[in-house]
Amino acid sequence: MRRLLEIGGEQIPVWLAHTGKGYVVHARDRAVPCALTCSQGRGAYVLELEGRSIPLRLAVSETATFIHLYGRAYEIRRTDPADRLVEGGAGAGQDSIVAPMPGVVVSVTVGPGDRVEKGQTLLVIESMKLETTLSAPRDGVVAEVPFAPGEGFGLKDVLARLAPEEE
Amino acid sequence: MHPGYGFLAENAAFVRALNAAGITFVGPTEDVIDLMGDKVRARAFVAERGFPVAPAAIEDDDPASFVERARAVGYPLLIKPSAGGGGKGMRVVREDAALEAEIETARREGKRYFGDGRLFVERYIERPRHIEVQVMGDGCGNVVHCWERECSIQRRFQKIIEETPSPALSPEQRTEICETAAGIARAVNYRGAGTVEFIYAPDGAFYFLEMNTRLQVEHPVTEMVTGIDLVAEQLRIAAGGGLSHAQAEIRQTGHAIELRICAEDAFADFRPAIGEVLLVEEPQGAGVRVDSGILEGGKVTTDFDPMLAKLIVHGSDRAGAIARARAAVQGYVILGVTTNTGYLDAILAHPRFLSGDVSTGFLAEEAAVLTARGEDVTDILVAATALSDGRLVRAVDEIPEMHRLMGAWRN
C-alpha cells in the first residue's frame, strides 16, 4: 500500500508492507523494518528502527502528520496517489498564479477579458505585513481574478488565471 | 480598562471615549499618546530637550523639498511612516535610484495601516542594536526605570527574542541609557508603564527611536529579573496608588530571555502556518514561564497575529538562561500547526548569539545557517508517519498471508 509523503518540500513515495514478522517501510530505495508502540504521555510513541528506540510525539490530521522529534516539530503531508491522479490536467498550473502564502488582496488592476503583457501587474497582495506585486507570467488574456481587494486567501489558492493559450 | 498591548493601547481617541464614559484607562494621558504616537513630533520634542536623536529629514517640515532633504541624510537610510509603529511600512534604502519608488510604497503602506501617509527618513545606523528601557511613572512627576531589554534579534523589524540585561552594555552605559529613558518619561510627566526605544551603534552612541506608551509584548523578561509584576504596577498607578518602588530598590537579578512562538514555517521562507492545534504540552519547571494564547482544538488562522505564545526563562546568568531556554523550547510540544520553535532553538545555539555579538541584521546575515536543515531524520519521519496512518496499516493488515510473504508487492 502506498502513500505519497511531502517532507520539507521533498516528495517521497512510500510503501508499507508486512512480512509476517512485522512491518517494513519502503522509501528512497531502502526497505526498513520498523515498529511503533505507545508510550507514556499523550501522543507519545517509541519507534523501533534499525536497532534504535526513538521516542517521539505524534498527532495525525486528515492530510498531515505532525511529529515532535529530538526537540523539533515536523509536518509531513500525506496524499494517496490515487487521489493525486484525479487532480490531473497536465500543465493546468501554467495559466494560474497560485498564492505563495496566505494573505489579503490589496488591489486588483485587471479584470476578466483584459489583454495583458508579460510582467504587467495583475494584483497586489499583502502577506506577513509586506506587499507583493503579482505580475503576468506571459502575454495573454485574463480569465479570472477570484478575489476582490480586502478579501483574504489561503496558501495555494488561485489568485489570477489567464485564458489558455491558443495554438 | 486595561488595553493589553494591541492597537487600542495607543489610540488616543479610544482614551477620550473612555474618559467621556467615566471609565479609567490604564495607561498614560491622551496627550502623551498623541505626542509619542506621532514619531515626528516625538522626535522633535525629545531633541529639543537635549536627548540624542539620529540625523533625519521630516516631510512635514517642507513637503516640497522632502526628497532632496532625504538625499542629504545620506545612505543607507530608513523611511518610516510618521504615524507608524512595530516596523510596519518601514523601508531601508541603500541607493539613490530606489529612493523615490520606496517613498511611494512606504506612503501607501502608511496610509493603509495608519490612515496617514506622511513620512520621515532617518540615517540607518549600520550594525545597530535595539535596546529599550522600561519606565514607570505616576503622572505626578515621579518616574523610575526598570532597566533595559535587548531586542536586537529581529526579523523584518519584528522582535522574536528579547533578553535582559543586554550583553552589550557596561554598567556605566547601562546607567546612562536607563537614566536618559527616565528623563524622557519625566519630560512628558509620564503615567503608567512605557518603553523608550533606542538605536545603539557599535561605537556605543545611542539615539532615541520612539516611545511606546503601553506595556510591551516582551515585558515579562523585565518582570523575571526585577521581580516586579508590571501589570499589577499599571493597575496600582491607574487606581492612584503611585509607584510601589523607589529607583534604588529596583535591581536586576540574573538573566531572562523571551522567545516568541509563532505560527510560521521558518524552513519554507517563513510562510504563515495555519491549522488546528492537535496537541500542546508546555515546558515546565523552575525559571520557566509560558504566556500562551492557544488551546488544543483551537484553530490557527491568518486572521490574527501569528504569535501563539511566549516562552520566558530565567537563569542565574546569561549562559544558564540560554541553556534553560534551549531545553524549554525543545520540550515545547505543539502539534497540528507548524511553529518556529526549531528556528528559535537554532538562534539560541548560534555562536554569535552565545557570545552576544548580535545586531538587528543578525537574523538576515545568518539566515542560511539558521534555516539549514538539521541531520536527516527522513527515515524516522517516514516510518512514524506510515505506521501511524490507520487506513494504511489496516489495508496492509488485510492483505492475505500469501501476498505478505512475497514482501513489498507492487502493481
Compute φ and ψ for A158, nearest 5 degrees: -80, 125
Spacing of C-alpha A46 from chain mean position: 28
Using the Cβ of A24 and the Cβ atoms of chain B, whether some distance falls under 8 Å is answered with: yes
- Give the pLDDT confidence of A75-107 residue by residue, as tens digits: 999 987 665 444 433 344 457 888 877 888 999
* In a domain? residue B54: yes
Residues B144, B258: one domain? Answer: yes
**Cell 515621579 found at:** B142
Whole-number Å distance between alpha carbons of A6 and A3: 10
Q: Are residues B164 and B101 in the same domain?
A: no
**pLDDT surpasses 50 at A39:** yes
Do A78 and A94 lie in a common domain?
Answer: no
CA B391 – CA A78 distance, rounded (Å): 12
What pLDDT shows up at residue A90?
Answer: 37
Most confident of A14-18, B221-225, B396-400: B221-225
Query: Which residues of A, range 49-88, sit inside 8 Å of B by Cβ?
Result: 49-50, 54, 56-61, 64-76, 78
Q: Are B272 and B302 in contact (CB under 8 A)?
A: yes
Segment B137-161, tens digit of pLDDT: 999 999 999 999 999 999 988 999 9
Q: Count structural domains, chain B.
A: 3
Does B110 score more than 80 pLDDT?
yes
Q: Do A18 and B342 touch (CB under 8 A)?
A: no
User: What does pTM read for this prediction?
Assistant: 0.79
> Does any domain span residue A158?
yes
- Tell me the shortest Cα–Cα distance from A94 to chain B, in angstroms: 22
- ipTM > 0.90 (yes/no): no
Per the CB < 8 A criterion, the answer to whether B339 and B282 are in contact is: no
Q: Which residues contact B65 (CB under 8 A, 6 or more apart)?
A: none
CA atoms of A12 and B107, how far apart (whole Å) = 46
Q: What cell does B166 get?
A: 543586554
Q: Do A69 and A97 belong together in one domain?
A: no
B150 and B99 assigned to the same domain? no
- Both B326 and B345 in one domain: the answer is yes
Looking at every residue in chain B, the average pLDDT score rounds to 93
Q: Looking at A32, A61, A84, which one is the last position of a domain? A: A84
The CATH number that applies at residue A15 is 3.30.700.30
pLDDT of residue A1: 66
CB contact under 8 A, B279 and A28: no
Is the pLDDT score of B232 beyond 70?
yes
Assign B394 to helix, strand or coil. Answer: helix
With a pLDDT cut of 70, the percent of chain B lying above it is 96
Residue B143 to residue A63: CA distance in whole angstroms = 55
